A and B are shown apart, each in its own frame.
Chain A
Amino acid sequence: MDMNEIKEIFFQECEEQLAELETGLLALNDGDQDPETVNAVFRAVHSIKGGAGAFALDELVAFAHVFETTLDCVRSNQLEATRDVVKVLLKSADVLADLTNAARDGGSVEEARCSELVAELEALARGEVPVSAAPAEEASAQEAPAEAEPADHDEAGFTPVPVQLDELDEEDGADAEPEFEPVPFSFDDFGAEGEEAASGFKIHFKPKPDLYHKGNETLLLLRELGQLGTLDVDCDMSALPAIDEMDPEGSYLVWNATLSTSENEEAVRAVFEFAEWDCDLEITPLEAVSAEPPAAEPMEEPVSDPVDAPIAENDPAPEISEPVEVEPAIEPIAEQPDAANVIDLQQAAAQGKDAADVSAQKTQARSTAPAAQATIRVELGRIDRLINLVGELVINQAMLAQSVAESATSGSSAVTMGLEDLQQLTREIQDSVMAIRAQPVKPIFQRMSRTVREAAEMVGKNVRLVTEGEATEVDKTVIDKLAEPLTHMIRNAVDHGLESPEDRVAAGKSPEGVVKLSAKHRSGRIVLEISDDGAGINRERVRQKAIDNGIITAETALTDEEVDNLIFQPGFSTAEQLSDISGRGVGMDVVKRSIQALGGRVGIVSTPGKGSVFTMSLPLTLAVLDGMVVTVGEQTLVVPLTSIIETLKPESEHIHGFGASGQLISIRDSFKPLVDVGQILNFSNTPTDPLAGVALLVDSEDGGQSALLVDAIQGQRQVVIKSLEANYANVPGIAAATILGDGQVALIVDVEAVVAASRNGALKSETSLAAVG
């Protein structure tokens, strides 16, 4: 495994951590008080920081560090996770995600955005803190910049704190001068019920450079210790060399702490669980040791730079640090979450929670990372290859069945039975293979929460996203293509759907708008709903706009539904002024088209004053399709079943000429254009006789219907979609190809394009919606 592969794993892990982070923060935002949620959030950032440090991703580490510091304040209850606080944290999570992506794809994130948030995070870590916790808080605020300073991360918004090293030099690292002692470093404040502590421990803690390389921080460890009881810490700076001899990545400080606590040694060791391989740690039980005088201010660790950690630099660390060193990305991934859980559990126990509570936490910890041990990471390409192979198997099986049926052996019951078994097996294999690619829509829903945040911020609205049915599974090919239309519809809901907070209050609603995103399975399809509790569609305005744009005339009588559907017309935008988030040249027409390209439909129901609901119904996969196999001229074509409403045999009294060449068919007294598929696709020169053929009633783009005229229907079949573009090109009027039981290629009709062509008289390649195979 080379470096790049390890890095790739790291980034994949990052994605999971980021998802975890966002989930946790959103839970906090919704008032989740569970300490485990905060811990999970903290762990996610911590893991990213640790991994990033190993890969020398400086910016990422710097940002994660500040983020982590603030989260730690939340974790240690010095900072309450109010909505405002969580808002900043969520934004930070977004930036962290962007930084991760930038690190992976080589982009960059606006410095201003980072530094702004860094400032906010630092303010959070400093301010809004109970007075009692102030000293340590100050220390943390000081330590953060100090640690980052050598890494030259000023651009990330760190305020450099003068680390008076020259004086240190002069003093030859001797005991601190008064200037060195601005902060009385005492952890008493963290002590839970410090005074009553019966016994305690003497802790000798000497970090090695590796400790810092891995993103651990002494302060956090000591603070953790402080929570176990009353802690006195003494920093031994005797090993500190003169400044010109100092290795900026070295570790020179030794900490001697005296902890008065009622906890056992195990609890104390648990604090150092992450760090124990990277430090010299001695924990000796304390009988009656008189508290050592709280000595000098704990100088910031000389210049522990977690950023530039060279992986190759193998500290001659005696302990088991080796594997960690060699596989920095893998180790934390495999071990850390669990280990962290353990720590948290122990702490919970230490804090005197009862066993039931702990086990409740335990189950929750499990449920947040379900089946982590039962999954396996597979390259998508391998799955695709498998799916292609199964597709071939299905086709071959059908071919075999056909030739057996035609051959003399068809009478043999052994052959027939064998074939039936084979068919069943093939079907099962196909289903299982498709299930591999099925994924819950959760990740994409999570991405939408960010979209909502950003859109809401941009238009100055207060919006909450509610999601439902996140576990609903869809094929990966569909999920990948959902992001864009969903993003657009969400933005649309925030920008156009919801009113401004003032208007909402005036309308007697809560100032906070709600956008709801839900997914569910319905009859073999997935149905996504995006609803808002806004004002609904302003039909007057939509109508006027449509008249202005020449889409309809002033006389056109439209039902409410038809008016609502006007927003799917090309070039339509109801916003008075194109705002930042809409009006990017992408309208709802594009959304509709991309949904249709996926074989889906979009519908809208709007109630004035109550809001709008957009409904999308999509196939579960793009790899197979239910189709109607039809004959057109000498060709066998497949028409997607989803677009067919009904089939009928035209009778002469239902066919009406319309102009020179047009024909209409009357279906229950409404007239639909009759579309000769053979002519449009150029498969036959002579018009098909409607009375000899079959009409397929299909939905077309504007919600209207057309009747496709074909020669005959062969039957319904599930077909494996094969791309035409892969080896050839986009063919107007054809969505994709498939292979029939006899091994012949059959083309899948692009119904929209064919209907559109029947109106415009020509097939345009840009209207064709190529499916993916």
Chain B
Amino acid sequence: MQQTSKNLAEGARELIAFRIGEQEFCVDIMSVREIRGWTPATSLPHSPGYVLGVINLRGAVLPIVDLSSRLGMKESDPSARHVIIVAQVRQKVVGLLVDAVSDILTVTDDNIQPTPEVSSELDRSFAKGVLAIEGRMICLIELESVFPDDESEAA
């Protein structure tokens, strides 16, 4: 990863691509802290359905969000094959439960197309754009809007 970032062309940036069900998404690599396997989470009372609970990340309490559920798709049934992307969103560190991490993409802003007008839950509020890479469609997620600043919503 470090190697590629050194060789980055001007204006290019790196994204981490991952899979949820049949769909592919990606987030900016700069916000990703680490990727780790699923461990059972301690559930939190009165939390929204997409908050799976909290796990111990080397002494810190890390909330785990089922990204599939958060994006309005079906709820995941977490298993050992699932992956947690630990990401920094503003001041907080959160874990995103996804099916699998697939790729590291190097793109420039030109590669990112605007989000098509769709009336799905995964509308413009989460998606920052879409990428067409080798025939695949990858949706760029904006974590800031997945976890809004307002804490009551994040809860």
B56 contacts A635, C-beta separation under 8 Å = no
Q: In the complex, A732→B45 CA distance in Å?
A: 8
A388 nearest in chain B by CB position: B59
Please, which residues of chain B bring their CB within 8 A of the CB of A747? 42, 44-45
Is A724 part of the contact surface with B, judged by Cβ < 8 Å? yes
A-B contact count (CB 8 A): 85
A730 contacts B46, C-beta separation under 8 Å = no
Known: A726-B92, A745-B55. Is A731-B44 also a contact (CB below 8 A)? yes
Cβ 8 A contact of B45, one of A388, A389, A682, A729: A682
Is A708 part of the contact surface with B, judged by Cβ < 8 Å? no
Is A739 part of the contact surface with B, judged by Cβ < 8 Å? yes
A733 nearest in chain B by CB position: B45
A728 contacts B45, C-beta separation under 8 Å = no
A728 contacts B59, C-beta separation under 8 Å = no
Known: A682-B45, A731-B46, A731-B47. Is A726-B58 also a contact (CB below 8 A)? no
Please, which residues of chain B bring their CB within 8 A of the CB of A727? 60-63, 92-94
Is A404 part of the contact surface with B, judged by Cβ < 8 Å? no
A395 contacts B42, C-beta separation under 8 Å = no
Known: A395-B59, A739-B59. Is A728-B42 also a contact (CB below 8 A)? no
A724 nearest in chain B by CB position: B61
Is B151 part of the contact surface with A, judged by Cβ < 8 Å? yes
Known: A728-B155, A729-B151. Is A745-B56 also a contact (CB below 8 A)? yes
Is A240 part of the contact surface with B, judged by Cβ < 8 Å? no
A730 contacts B151, C-beta separation under 8 Å = yes
Q: In the complex, A746→B151 CA distance in Å?
A: 22
A745 contacts B54, C-beta separation under 8 Å = yes
Please, which residues of chain A bring their CB within 8 A of the CB of B44? 724, 728, 731, 734, 747
Q: In the complex, A734→B63 CA distance in Å?
A: 14
A731 nearest in chain B by CB position: B44
Q: In the complex, A65→B93 CA distance in Å?
A: 51
A738 nearest in chain B by CB position: B61
Which of A388, A389, A391, A744 has the most chain B CB within a 10 Å cutoff?
A744
0/1 interface trace, chain B 22-62, chain A, CB 8 Å (1 if under): 00000000000000000011111111000101111011111
A728 contacts B63, C-beta separation under 8 Å = yes
Please, which residues of chain A bring their CB within 8 A of the CB of B43? 635, 683
Give the number of chain B interface residues (Cβ < 8 Å).
Answer: 26
Q: In the complex, A723→B58 CA distance in Å?
A: 14
Is A114 part of the contact surface with B, judged by Cβ < 8 Å? no
Known: A681-B45, A729-B155, A734-B45. Is A392-B59 also a contact (CB below 8 A)? yes
Please, which residues of chain A bring their CB within 8 A of the CB of B54? 724, 728, 737, 745
Known: A724-B61, A728-B63. Is A743-B46 also a contact (CB below 8 A)? no
Q: How far is the CB of A468 from chain B (nearest CB, A)?
A: 39
Is A598 part of the contact surface with B, judged by Cβ < 8 Å? no
Interface residues of A in 739-767 (CB under 8 A from B): 739, 743-747, 763, 765
0/1 interface trace, chain B 56-87, chain A, CB 8 Å (1 if under): 10111111000000000000000000000000
Q: How far is the CB of B133 from chain A (nearest CB, A)?
A: 32
0/1 interface trace, chain A 667-686, chain B, CB 8 Å (1 if under): 00000000000001111000
A635 contacts B47, C-beta separation under 8 Å = no
Q: In the complex, A763→B155 CA distance in Å?
A: 14
Which of B42, B43, B151 has the most chain A CB within a 10 Å cutoff?
B42
Q: In the complex, A745→B42 CA distance in Å?
A: 6
Cβ 8 A contact of A726, one of B42, B61, B155: B61
B92 contacts A635, C-beta separation under 8 Å = no
Q: How far is the CB of A268 from chain B (nearest CB, A)?
A: 61
Q: How far is the CB of B51 from chain A (nearest CB, A)?
A: 8
Is B154 part of the contact surface with A, judged by Cβ < 8 Å? yes
Please, which residues of chain B bring their CB within 8 A of the CB of A681? 45-46
Is A206 part of the contact surface with B, judged by Cβ < 8 Å? no
Interface residues of A in 453-469 (CB under 8 A from B): none
Q: In the complex, A392→B60 CA distance in Å?
A: 9
Q: In the complex, A426→B24 CA distance in Å?
A: 46
Q: How far is the CB of A403 from chain B (nearest CB, A)?
A: 15
Is A722 part of the contact surface with B, judged by Cβ < 8 Å? yes
Is B120 part of the contact surface with A, judged by Cβ < 8 Å? no
A739 contacts B56, C-beta separation under 8 Å = yes
Please, which residues of chain B bring their CB within 8 A of the CB of A746? 42
B45 contacts A392, C-beta separation under 8 Å = no
Please, which residues of chain A bring their CB within 8 A of the CB of B92? 726-728
B58 contacts A392, C-beta separation under 8 Å = yes
Please, which residues of chain B bring their CB within 8 A of the CB of A682? 45-46
Please, which residues of chain B bring their CB within 8 A of the CB of A745? 41-42, 53-56, 61
Is B119 part of the contact surface with A, judged by Cβ < 8 Å? no
A723 contacts B61, C-beta separation under 8 Å = yes
Q: How far is the CB of A747 from chain B (nearest CB, A)?
A: 7
B42 contacts A635, C-beta separation under 8 Å = yes
B152 contacts A728, C-beta separation under 8 Å = no
Q: How far is the CB of B43 from chain A (nearest CB, A)?
A: 7
A740 nearest in chain B by CB position: B56
Q: In the complex, A529→B144 CA distance in Å?
A: 47
Q: In the complex, A739→B92 CA distance in Å?
A: 19
Chain A interface residues toward B at CB < 8 A: 388-389, 391-392, 395, 635-636, 680-683, 722-724, 726-734, 737, 739, 743-747, 763, 765, 773
Instruction: List 5 interface pairs A-B (beta carbons < 8 Å), by A numbering.
Output: A392-B59, A636-B42, A728-B54, A733-B45, A765-B152
7 extra A-B contacts, CB within 8 A, seeds A722-B61, A732-B46, A745-B42? A681-B45, A683-B45, A722-B59, A727-B92, A728-B44, A734-B45, A743-B56
Chain B interface residues toward A at CB < 8 A: 40-47, 51, 53-56, 58-63, 92-94, 151-152, 154-155
For the complex of A and B, 3 pairs with smallest distance between CB atoms: A392-B59, A681-B45, A728-B63
